Structure formats: structure tokens, C-alpha cells
Structure 1
Amino acid sequence: MSTGTHEYEDDPRNASILISVNGELVPRERATVSVFDAGFVLGDGIWEGLRVTEGGIAFLDAHLDRLFEGAKAIDMAVGLTRAELAERLFECLRANGMEDGVHVRLMVTRGVKRTPYQDPRVTIGPATIVIIPEFKLPRPEVVARGITLFTAHIRRTGPAEQDQKLNSHSKLNCILACIQAAKAGADEALMLDPAGFVATCNSTHFFIVRRGELWTSPPDYCLGGITRGNVLRAAREAGIPTFEKRFSNTDVYGADEAFVTGTFAGLVHVRSVDGRTIGWDEGREGAGPVTHALAAAYRRLVRNSLTAIPAAATRE
């Protein structure tokens, strides 16, 4: 079975976690939403994945910026202020005693509908807000070995179809690309833009290193990745020539290094694309020197970004 950057070790503690469903903390087996919920019926909602480490949430402000911007774009009221939503996150983490090695899925949908129909005007309640925290770390062997990619024929769409800047629940194009990659025996899919240039992967962002330069696609056909943005920042601060530009698979096949980025696993190197080995020194295995240096720089940025989980307020 192929593995990808989201492959993780099962943690028995997750069997007894409490999940926040509209502010109520409920056991995992009782965490449910209505079959009339817009997220279930239509994929009508937005979400964020967050990393908890060393007693804090990494890049929390950036994640909340993206979530609230996405909600505004689809004309959906979250129903909580940023501060209230952050406190709900903290409350859920405190209730589970979680401070490190945790991945959080924060989901907001348009809410319950009177009938299963797409028109938002048949929504009869407030937004549904679900927070699922899990003890979850990427498998060390996957990070060490790297991943393989397969170029899918499913394309990333532009804003005239479904704007890829939206971190929406509607991910069917990414799912289809993921399926195609898995059928081809690869870990993840490399997806192209409508003109055939490299865009991104089905669940991560894609970078290549060529002759000491770092390349990634422009943001036109991919999500505004928070890890992506921080890796670009780290590269520029390190003096690495960095370009957001269009490039093709030919450039990828001849790259010295390649890696993907995401909140869950950080940076993970790519060892092959479409069966072509990506080697940085006559085919040597493992992450190349630029990838290795950027992974270390990104970890430092994570530590410097942490919003500490505050203790519960005391009641007088």
C-alpha cells in the first residue's frame, strides 16, 4: 500500500478524545451532525488544519485569517468572533489535555437546512462548528524515505470554476486526483493548471530546486498555503533565489531536489515523479541539502509562531 505525507501512527489515546460540536464536548463515538447539514448534503463549508506543539498552536492568526476570509467569500456567517473561536479551540484542547503532537481539524459549515437543496436561503440555523483534535504525528519512516508523485489528468480549476484559494469542503477534484495517483502506485498526485503547467499536489504544495534556485507555482491555481508561505519566507531570509513561476513537468524531471509542504508533516522530500528519480547528488537517497536546510528553518518558524494554550479562566 502506498503512503503519503498524511500517513500516521495510530494513537490509542484518540479513542477517548472529546470533540467539540457547536460548543458541546462529546465523546468521539457520539460526535455527529444532522443529515440535513449543508456540509454533509453539499460540501458547503470551509475548514482549517492546525498543528499543536510545545503547548501552543502554530500560526493560529494566519489560519484564522484564512478561515474568516473564506467564510466571507462564500457569504457564510461563522457566528463567532475570532477571539470566541480561538477560545473554543483552547477549550477543546484543554478538555483533552493536549499540548503537543496534536493535529486539529476545524470545520465550519453553513448549518442545518430545511430540505436537502443547495440554496443557502433554506438554511434554518446557525453555522455548524466542529473541532476534532487528535494525537497524530507523521510516520517517521515516510518522512525519511520521502514520497512518490504521479501527475494526474484532473486539473486545478481557476476562479471562474471553483476558486482553489478557498479551503472548502468541496474537494472532489483533489479526491479524484488522489485516487488516480493511488491506482498508479504513487503516494500523492501532482496536479496541473488548465494550461498544463505544474500547480500543486492534491493535498500539499509542491516545490523544486534547480541549480540552487527554489521554484514553486504562482498562487493562481492553489490554496494560499500557510506552510508554503512560511517556506518561501524562510528561503528568502536564507538568501536562496526564490521564484513563484510557471514551470512544466520537464523542469520537474530534471530538478535537483523536490519536496512538498503542509501543516501536518511540514516539509517532506519527493523521491520520484512519474517514475523519474529526483536525485540531488548522482541519485543519492534522502532529502537534499536545500530541502534539509529549509525544513530546519521552518521548524524554527513554527516554534516562534506558537500561540500558547491559556489556562481556563477562573470563575469568582
Structure 2
Amino acid sequence: MIHGTHNALQDDRNNEIVIYVNGELLPRKDAKISVFDSGYLVGDGIWEAVRLHKGQLVFLDMHFDRLWNAAATVGMDLKMTREELAEKIQQTLDANNMSDHVHVRFMVTRGIKKTPSQDPRLTISGPNLVIIAEHKKASEESKEKGISLFTSTIRRGSPDYLDPRLNCHSKLHEVQALIQALEAGADEALMLDIHGFVATCNATNFFIVKNDEVLTSTGQYCMNGITRANIIRVCRENGIPCRETNFSLFDVYGADEAFVTGSFGGVTPVVKIDGRQIGNGKFGNMSRRLSGLYHDLIEREVKRLNNSVNA
């Protein structure tokens, strides 16, 4: 098994799933998109991924906020309301008889091009929408083991040419960073910002713990992660000191603990960075506490959503 924050237990039900493609539900092997799709041609697309937990899509409103903000940023008319997209996602889940431990990724591209080109005026269709829902349960063994990071030479870019908060299909620089990390024998990449401060990882957000204080980057050069925001939230709700601030590798190497966050893995401990052991090299006490508080927040969210349905 590939080790990392997206390790999932094998589930053969995924071989038989149907995938939503522009209003059709297609078997996995038949789910295809045109080679003239804007996302395929020039990476002109945006996406989100959300978890289905006990029948509820948790923090869906936050994901929708980010998607619609991304659409406004790239000048894309999604041609649907939030309610309509929610219905299409639920349709996909129902078709697959899914209720728990499901990872849903929905992707919207600008549409089909008349000819290969960057020019949006050559788009001859409405947006393409693909929804992939898979049975995915995180590997607890991988989580307990923790991951190792390698600091890539690929920097998180400046917001004046590709805002790092934009969840778009153009992920090549993050792929490059991950390749460097893999070639160095690590699981994932740690990325610095243009000033040399620690920004984020290639696919997750990064935190350190020092003297019982939780630190993460300013947020200016990283994905505005939903789980990142929720970890900051539970820190504040539970009186845990937490700062969004600049810090460097000097601070990272001397940290008591480190962890990363993401919608799939929640809180995953980081035990080694650039060959250096972090803290005691195990799932730290604060990281484990935050993992539990985050799980409690999910349960509260499920209860809130159930109550709103029954009201």
C-alpha cells in the first residue's frame, strides 16, 4: 500500500460504482469525458471533496462557499444553484446505496472547446460536471504510524499569478513537489512560501505544536482548507492556544509535534521531516487530542444536520 495521508482500506465495492457525468450515471469503466474538455486541455476547472458521515455530507456549506468563490475567481458560470448541485450529489450517493465512510469529489470544468485552446470564447458547451463517490475509510494503521515529509524546492506561489487558495485543476507544481519528496524517500512534500516561511504540504495543511501552543501558517500561501479551519475552531472552542503566523524550518525541526489536516484523513501526525525526527516520533498528545475534538465536531455537525431535516 502507498503510505500517506490518503491511504484508504481496500473496498471492492468501488469496482461497481456509478459515476455522475453531466446528468448520466455511468459504470466506472464507461465514465468518460471528451478530450476537448477544458479541464483536460488546459486545467481549466475547479473541484471540491467532501465526506459522507452517517448519512450526512459534513461541512458541505463550507465546501460550497469555497467552490462558488473559486468559480467567481476564474470567471466561470456554474449554471446551477447550490441546491441543484446538492441534489446531484445526493442522486449519485443514492444510486450507489452509500451512507457512511464515503469520499465524494465533484469537479466542474468550463466545458467543451471547439479546438484546443486557452481561449474561453472557444467553449461550445456549458460546464462539465463529474461527481465521483467512493467507499473510502482511512487506514488507522497508517494514521498511527504517521508520515514523513521532505521540504521541496518548489514554492507555493504568490497570489498575483495563481492564488494558492484556489482549488483548481492546475496542480502540477504540487505534483512536482510530491515527486521530489518521493524521490527523497518521504511520503509527502512540505512547501515553503515565496519568503521562505513554511506554507503547507502538497495536498494537506501543516501544523506544529510547541510548548502546548498550536501554530499554522498565515494562510496567505496555502489552500484555505476546511479541516484546517475546523482545527483552528476547535482550538479556540477548547481554550487551546492557536496562532496563524509565519514560522520557518528552524521552528519546525524543534517542534514538539507536527501534524497535517485534510478532509479525508482528518488529523495525521508527522513523525519525521527532512530526515529529522519530530518530537518523540509518535502521534503526540496534542495532535491526538485535536483529532478527537475534530471527530466530536463532526458528530455535532451530523446531529445538527439531522435536526434541521427533522425540524
TM-score above 0.5: yes
Quick one: higher RCO (CA 8 Å, sep 6+), 1 or 2?
A: 1
* Alignment match of 1:292 (pick from 260, 271, 288): 288
Q: Map 1:117-156; keep pairs closer than 5 Å.
A: 117-156=117-156
Contact between 1:213 and 1:241, CA under 8 Å: does it hold in 2?
Answer: yes
Secondary structure (helix, strand or coil) at the match of 1:84 reads helix
Cα distance in 2 between the residues matched to 1:161 and 1:288? 37
Question: Which residue does 1:4 correspond to in 2?
Answer: 4
**Match for residue 184 of structure 2?**
184
Runs of 4+ in 1 over 6 A off after TM superposition: none
Counterpart check, 1:302 vs 2:298: yes
| C-alpha distance in structure 1 between counterparts of 2:65 and 2:5, whole Å | 25
- Pairing 1:254-269 to 2, within 5 Å after superposition: 254-269=254-269
Once residues 268 and 73 of structure 1 are traced to their aligned partners in structure 2, the CA distance between those partners, rounded to angstroms, is: 31
Does the 8 Å contact 1:49/1:104 carry over to 2? yes
SS in 1 for 2:153: coil
Question: 1:218: which partner in 2?
Answer: 218
For residues 144 and 17 of structure 2, what CA distance do their matches in structure 1 show? Answer: 29
Aligned to 2:252: 252
Deviation at residue 223 of structure 1 after TM alignment: 1.0
Task: Give 1:162's aligned residue.
Answer: 162
> Which segments of 5 or more consecutive residues in structure 1 lack a partner in the other structure?
312-316
Measure the CA separation in 1 of the matches of 2:39 and 2:273: 34
- Equivalent residue, structure 2, for 1:73: 73
What is the distance in 2 between the residues matched to 1:161 and 1:75?
15
Alpha-carbon displacement from aligned partner over 1:133-164 (angstroms, at most 9, x marks no partner): 00012222110100000000000001112111
Is 1:64 the counterpart of 2:57 in the alignment? no
Give the deviation of 1:293 after TM superposition: 0.8
Amino acid of the structure 1 residue aligned with 2:194: P
State the secondary structure of the residue aligned to 1:220.
Answer: coil
State TM-score, norm by structure 2.
0.96
Alignment partners' CA distance in 1, 2:116 and 2:297: 44
Q: Distance in 2 between matches of 1:39 and 1:139?
A: 31
Cα distance between partner residues in 2 of 1:39 and 1:301: 34
Aligned length: 306
5 Å-filtered alignment, 1:236-247, equals 236-247=236-247
Q: Which residue of 2 aligns with 1:27?
A: 27
Asked if 2 retains the 8 angstrom alpha-carbon contact of 1:2 and 1:186, the reply is no
CA distance in 1, matches of 2:102, 2:161: 34
2:112 paired residue number: 112
Structure 1: distance between partners of 2:8 and 2:178: 17
Structure 2 unaligned runs (5+)?
Answer: none
Q: 1:194 corresponds to which residue?
A: 194
d(CA) in 1 for partners of 2:59 and 2:138?
A: 19
**For 1:23 and 1:232, how far apart are their aligned partners in 2?**
37
User: CA shift at 1:111, angstroms?
Assistant: 0.5
- Which amino acid letter does the alignment assign opposite residue 128 of structure 1? N
- Post-superposition offset of 1:305: 2.1
Shift of 1:304: 2.0
Matched residue SS, 1:35? coil
Task: State the 1:237 CA deviation.
Answer: 1.1
> Post-superposition shift, 1:260?
0.2
1:2: how far off?
A: 5.6
1:207 aligned to 2:207? yes
Q: Secondary structure at the match of 1:219?
A: coil
8 A Cα contact 1:2 1:185, kept in partner = no
One-letter amino acid of the counterpart of residue 166, structure 2: L
Stretch deviating more after TM superposition (21-30 or 1-10):
1-10
- For residues 26 and 304 of structure 1, the distance between their equivalents in structure 2, rounded to whole angstroms, comes to 34
Separation in structure 1 between the aligned mates of residue 225 and residue 301 of structure 2, nearest angstrom: 16
Cα offset for 1:286? 2.8
- Identity among equivalent positions (%) equals 52
